[in-house]
Each structure stands twice: as C-alpha cells, then as structure tokens.
Structure 1
Amino acid sequence: MTMPNVDNEIVRMIAADTNTPEETDSRLFEETWAEYSEGARIMD
C-alpha cells in the first residue's frame, strides 16, 4: 500500500473548504512552505 501525498491532500482540503481552484491553493501552499522552511532547524 502506498502512502498518499500529504501535500496534495492538504491542498485538496483547503480548496474544498475555501471554494478556490486547487492550482491557486497549491501555489500558495508551496510559497508558504518554502518561506516557512527557509532556514528552519529542527531542535530536538
């Protein structure tokens, strides 16, 4: 069994909840993720 692509599931849920195209939400998700993860460090 393969694992679903979590990013795609998140984008689909956001698009459904906000009634916006998946392409728009996908772009915004990618931009936000890139901004958030830039320079991020895991401190465990």
Structure 2
Amino acid sequence: MIGRAPVIGRSSLHLFHFPPLVVVVVVLLILFSFFYPMFRY
C-alpha cells in the first residue's frame, strides 16, 4: 500500500497535466456558466 501510493500520485498528476489552452477553455466555460445568469437578468 505504501509503495503504491507514489505511483498513484504520479499517474494522477499525469492525468491532471493538461495543455494550457485546455485549462483556459475550461476556466472560461466555468466563468461563463457562473456569470451568465447574472447578465441574463
């Protein structure tokens, strides 16, 4: 269990290693979905 923990952490880091463009698009989508109801009213 203890020996497998660093391997799981390393694989999860690889999964969360997105290109910067993908991160920007996701952040813009989250901000748009958050502010759209405010602008709609």
TM-score category by the smaller chain?
A: 0.3 to 0.5
TM value normalised by structure 2: 0.47
Greater gyration radius:
2
Which one has more relative contact order, counting CA pairs under 8 Å at least 6 apart?
A: 1
* More helix per residue: 2
